Structures are given as C-alpha cells and as structure tokens.
C-alpha cells in the first residue's frame, strides 16, 4: 500500500514527459499509425476499384475498410509503447539508481507504461469518435465496445512485457532496437495488422492460433466488428504467453544483474 | 578533388566496418532483420494476389518486380546512409555537429556518408537476385535490362534527396528523433505504386513532393517503354530537388546553434 503514491507520481510524470515533447510524440507514435492506415485505405480502395459489391475472402470493400479502421484504433491503443528508455537505462548504467531507491526498475517502467497508456486511451477514443463520425465504421453496441477496449488494453500489457524483455537484453547487447524492429516486422505481418488473417493460407492460420500474434490485432479487430471469436480461448492463450514472457523476463533480470558492473559509477 | 573524397570515403567505410565487427551479434541480427522485412513484404503481395488477378494495371509478377526494386533501394539505403540520419539527430542535440561544420569538406557528404553498414551489404546479392528473378518472370526487354542499373542508381539518388530534405528540418526543432520517424513514413508511402493512391495524394506525391516517382517511374517505364515521360520526370525531380536541398541545407547550417557552446 505504501508504494501507491510512488506509482501515481511516476504515472503523472510519465504523462508530463509524453506531453512535453508533443511534436516528437505526434511524429513517433501517432504519425506512423495514421500513415499506415492511409496506405491501407488507399491500397484496398484501389484493389476493389471502388466496387462495393466485390467479395474478397468474405470481405466487401466496406468491411475491409472497417477492418483496417478498427486496426488503427487497436494499434493506437495497444502497441505504441516502445520502452526505448529501458535498454538505455541498462546500457548507460542508470539502473544503479533503481537499486538504491525504494521503487524498483520494473515498477518504474510499468508505471511509466501505464502513464503512456492513459494518453493513448484518450487519443484512441478521439480517433474512434472521428472515424465513427466519418462513417468508416458502424458504432458497435456499448457492451461490445467495452469488451473490445478492455481486451485491447489487456494485449497492450502483452506488448509491454515483450518490449520489456527485449529491453532487458541490453545487459548483453549494445543495441536492442534491432530486435524490436524484428518483432515489429514479424508481428505486424502475422498479427493481421497488414492483411486480415482470412487472406492467409488456412494451414498457416491454424499454426498461428498457438502463437500470440493473431491475438494482437486480428482478434481485437474482430471483437470490435461484432464477429465474436473464441474470446475465452484468446484470453487463455494471451495469459499463458504473458505469464511465460514475464517469467523469462524475471530470469533474464536475475542473470543480467549478476553481470551488471554499474559502469560509470 | 573527387579522389580526395574517395580516399575519405574509404576511411569512413573502414572505420564503420571495424566498429560493426566488434559487435558480432548485432551484425548478424541486422542481416536477419532485413531478411524478415524482405520476406514479409513479398509475402504480403503474394497473399493478396492469391485472391485477386490484377492490382491497377499490374499483375502479380509485375507488382513483385516493383517490390523487389524497392527492396533493392532499401538495401542500398540501409547500407550507405540510414545510420547517418539517426546520428545527425543526436549530433544536433549534443553539439557534436560542430565537428562536422569545422571539417574542411562538404558538410552534406560528411554528415550523410560518414556511417556505413557492412552487414546489410551482405544482403545485396539476395536483393539483386530477387529483382532478377521477377525481371525474368515479367520478360523484361534487353534494353530494359541494360537500363535497370541506371534506374536503380537514379531512384536511389532521388530517395536520398527526399530524405535529406526532410532531415534538414531537424535544424528547426529541438529533438530530431520524430523527424526520423516522419522520414520513415515517406519511405512506406513510396513502397506502393502510384496508381494505388487516390487522385489528390497521387498528384501531391508525384508532382510536388515526388516520393512516388522513386519506384513508379523506373518500373512503369521498364515494363512499358512507351511511357517515356516517367524517366523524364525522374531526372527532372532529381535536378529540382538538388537545388531545393542545396538551398535548405545551407539555410539549415546557418541556423545551427551549437548545443555545446
């Protein structure tokens, strides 16, 4: 209970930091997502040649655009956090501070992530309002909306633990950004963020079901679209992966601390 | 003078290679990263074409050829210039850019060609191989094969000109990191042919800020050599952007206030 004020203060500072560099925030977090959506919107409009009656893998043009519009909301809500400072903290020896302070490394970065997420929820809600007004999506029922938002917030934690784990590898690696880019490239393809998984070969989709990827984009989009996927199965798989990655992170941290020399102290 | 610059560039390559070789795992991971990117980019088109016959005027192999062309440009970009953009934002923030200004050589050259990535160069044969494979599949004419290397070089020049111009805006902001992300968004836009975009963005990104000319101009001409206006547009864009870049870079350098002084 004593640590709650520390959490709240770190969350507050994290929000201030995000808002202090507004141009950078706009260009780094919101810009890429909007451009990604702009490309997909144009690409699919061009593929369908504006014909709203053509069906591609069960999708009309309207459904395909709705899929990618929900993809925009999901991406803003779930996958913006990059944990960039985390590996820098390790590489530059700044974690020594956390070893002395009564607020440890994972607590600080998790609280920072929550602060970041609060701004992202606001941005995602504004985006949702804008796209709903533009008629790109049908506004789903309130319960569905709550379900979609809560599921997407849940997967944002999975993104966080994955990024956290990669950041911890800075104990051994000079730069961890390469691993982050590899994760981003593979996950945006296999999660259905670029193409709906319905366009993938059936065998590949069957294999992907057991990986965390489809649950990062495809599933939350489908929830928002009112197509009820196997919700409990998805939550189960995600929880399993999150537990496994969190445990691995714990082991990596313990092993990394044995190597840590507090360079520069 | 050219010889002097060549000697300097050889030193840049040599020091970059020594640095890269001292971190072996990142060296290998960079190769893997690029291969993942090539593979997913090509698979995206392949999966789309499992459900459609044409995209605009092009079929599967023509679009694959376009993507292979863009991947080769990406490979050259990653090898020769990409690291410099990130370094520049850091140099401007910390005042390290003072040393670039003080050196008795062209500042554009010493800023953007200082860092070389040897690991991505190892993927060059793969990128070329993919391009040749799809070039054979679409039955490129002998004259198109002869012009292909010239167009790769011209498109690469236009790509880096566009990126240098975007990067120049770092002189006007406190932290240039966000500008690098903006630059990468323009790269993404160029990775699809111009006919994919609606009329207004297509015009803007072809005539005003010719990011779509980079890939669409050479590939459209190589596929259909009656479209002579495309290479003309490519060369004109390079000349015009050359002047724009020169003006903006000089203005930016004048505006630079050393962070350390």
Q: How many domains does chain A have?
A: 1
Token output for B77 = 């970009």
User: Measured between CA atoms, how close is A24 to chain B, in angstroms?
Assistant: 4
Rounded to whole angstroms, how far apart are CA atoms B100 and B98?
Answer: 5
Mapped onto helix, strand or coil, the DSSP state of residue A246 is: helix
Q: Which residue has the tokens 């459609």?
A: B52
The sign one gets for the Cα dihedral B251, B254, B255, B256 is positive
Q: How distant, in Å, are the alpha carbons of A13, A86, A165, A174, B248 from that of A90?
A: 20, 7, 12, 10, 38
CB pair distance less than 8 Å for A46 and B197: yes
Q: How far is A221 from chain B (nearest CA, A)?
A: 19
Give dist(CA A230, CA A221) in Å, integer: 13
Cα angle: A167, vertex A170, A175; to 5 degrees: 95
The model's pLDDT over B143-183, given as tens digits with 9 standing for 90+, comes to 999 999 999 999 999 999 999 999 999 999 877 888 898 89
Type and span of the H or E element at A255: helix A231-259
Structure confidence at residue B85 (pLDDT): 93
Joined together, the tokens standing for residue B181 give 């992300």
What is the C-alpha separation between A220 and A78, in angstroms, rounded?
Answer: 10
Confidence tier at B261 by pLDDT (50, 70, 90): low
Mean pLDDT of B6-14: 94
Q: Which domain holds residue A136?
A: 4-259
Average pLDDT for B38-64: 95
Residues in chain B, how many?
261
Q: Is residue A48 part of a domain?
A: yes
Q: With H, G, I as helix, E, B as strand and everything else as coil, classify residue B128.
A: helix
- Name which of B197, B205, B216 to mutate to probe chain A: the one with the most chain A Cβ atoms within 10 A of its Cβ: B197
Return the number of other C-beta atoms located less than 10 Å from residue A115's C-beta: 21
Chain A residues near any Cβ of chain B (below 8 Å): 21, 23-28, 31-32, 35-36, 38-39, 42-43, 45-47, 56-57, 172-175, 178-179, 181-182, 185-186, 188-189, 194-195, 199-201
Mean of the per-residue pLDDT values for chain B?
93
Nearest to A181 among B33, B48, B50 (CB): B33
pTM to 2 decimals?
0.91
Report if residue A127 sits inside a domain.
yes
**From CA A155, how far away is CA A162, in angstroms rounded?**
11
Q: How confident is the model at residue B195 (pLDDT cuts 50, 70, 90)?
A: very high
A185 vs B184: CB contact, 8 Å cut-off? no
Q: What angle do helix axes B229-255 and B142-168 make, rounded to 10 degrees?
A: 20
Residue A91 Cα, gap to closest chain B Cα (Å): 14
pLDDT, position A20 = 80
- SS3 state of residue B117: coil
Kindly tell me the sign of the dihedral angle through the C-alpha atoms of B66, A72, B183, A163: negative
Question: CB neighbours of A222 closer than 8 A, spacing ≥ 6?
Answer: A228, A229
Residues B178, A24: C-beta atoms closer than 8 Å = yes
Among chain B residues, CA nearest to A198:
B47
The verdict on a CB contact (< 8 Å) between B198 and A201 is: no
Judged by average pLDDT, the poorest of A11-20, A208-217, B47-56, B61-70 is A11-20
Q: Of B40, B52, B189, which has the smallest distance from its Cβ to A185's Cβ?
A: B40
The answer to whether residue A14 is domain-embedded is yes
Q: What is the pLDDT of residues A160-189, one digit of tens each?
A: 999 999 999 988 887 788 999 999 999 999
* A173 closest CB neighbour out of B25, B173, B196: B25
Mean pLDDT of B66-75: 97
> Do the domain assignments include residue A251?
yes
Residue A94 maps to a domain: yes
Neighboring chain A residues of B197 at a CB cutoff of 8 Å: 42, 46
Q: What are phi and psi of A56, to 5 degrees?
A: -120, 110
As averages over each run of 10 residues, the pLDDT of chain A (265 residues) reads 84 86 77 86 90 89 94 86 76 81 86 90 88 87 90 92 92 87 94 95 93 92 87 88 95 89 63
Cβ B35 vs Cβ B122: under 8 Å: no
- Report H helices in chain B: 2-21, 24-49, 60-80, 82-94, 97-102, 107-112, 118-121, 124-137, 142-168, 177-190, 199-203, 213-223, 229-255
- Chain A interface disruption, residue of B43, B170, B201, most A CBs within 10 A: B43
pLDDT at B73: 97
Nearest residue in B to A32, CA atom: B185
Question: pLDDT value at position A263?
Answer: 63
């Amino acid at each position: 209970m004593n640590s709650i004020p520390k959490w709240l203060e770190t969350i507050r500072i994290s929000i201030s930091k995000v808002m202090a560099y507004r141009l950078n925030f706009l260009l780094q977090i919101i810009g890429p997502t909007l451009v990604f959506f702009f490309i997909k919107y144009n690409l699919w409009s061009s593929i369908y040649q504006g014909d709203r009656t053509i069906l591609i893998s069960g999708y009309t043009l309207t459904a395909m655009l709705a899929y990618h519009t929900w993809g925009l909301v999901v991406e803003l809500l779930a996958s913006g956090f990059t944990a960039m400072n985390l590996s820098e903290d390790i590489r530059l020896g700044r974690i020594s501070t956390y070893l002395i302070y009564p607020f440890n490394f994972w607590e600080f970065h998790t609280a920072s992530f929550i602060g970041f997420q609060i701004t992202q929820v606001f941005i995602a809600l504004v985006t949702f309002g804008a796209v709903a007004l533009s008629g790109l999506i049908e506004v789903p029922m309130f319960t569905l909306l709550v379900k979609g938002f809560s599921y997407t917030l849940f997967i944002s934690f999975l993104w966080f633990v994955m990024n956290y784990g990669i950041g911890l590898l800075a104990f051994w690696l000079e730069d961890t950004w390469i691993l982050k880019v590899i994760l981003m490239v593979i996950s945006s393809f296999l999660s259905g963020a670029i193409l709906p998984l319905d366009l993938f070969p059936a065998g590949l989709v069957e294999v992907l079901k057991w990986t965390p990827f489809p649950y990062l984009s495809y599933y939350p989009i489908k929830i928002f679209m009112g197509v009820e996927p196997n919700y409990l199965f998805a939550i189960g798989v995600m929880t399993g992966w999150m537990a496994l990655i969190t445990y691995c992170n714990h082991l990596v941290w313990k092993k990394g601390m044995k190597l840590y020399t507090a360079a520069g102290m | 003078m050219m010889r002097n610059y060549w000697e300097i560039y050889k030193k840049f390559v040599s020091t970059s290679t020594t640095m890269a070789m001292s971190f072996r795992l990142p060296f290998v991971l960079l190769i893997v990263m690029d291969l993942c990117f090539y593979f997913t980019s090509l698979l995206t088109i392949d999966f789309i074409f499992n459900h459609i016959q044409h995209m605009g005027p092009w079929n599967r192999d023509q679009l694959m050829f376009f993507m292979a062309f863009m991947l080769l440009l990406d490979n050259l970009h990653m090898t020769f210039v990409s690291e410099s953009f990130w370094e520049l934002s850091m140099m401007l923030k910390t005042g390290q850019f003072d040393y670039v200004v003080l050196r008795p050589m062209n500042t554009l050259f010493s800023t953007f060609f200082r860092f070389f990535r040897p690991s991505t160069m190892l993927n060059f044969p793969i990128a070329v191989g993919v391009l040749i494979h799809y070039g054979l599949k679409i039955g490129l004419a002998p004259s198109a094969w002869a012009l292909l290397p010239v167009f790769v070089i011209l498109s690469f020049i236009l790509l880096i000109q566009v990126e240098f111009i975007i990067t120049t805006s770092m002189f006007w902001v406190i932290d240039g990191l966000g500008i690098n992300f903006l630059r990468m968004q323009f790269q993404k836009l160029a990775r699809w042919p111009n006919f994919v975009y609606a009329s207004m963005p297509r015009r803007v990104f072809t005539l005003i800020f010719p990011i779509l000319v980079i890939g669409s101009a050479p590939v459209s001409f190589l596929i259909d050599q009656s479209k002579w206006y495309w290479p003309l547009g490519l060369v004109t864009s390079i000349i015009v952007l050359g002047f724009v870049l020169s003006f903006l870079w000089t203005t930016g350098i004048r505006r630079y206030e050393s962070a350390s002084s």
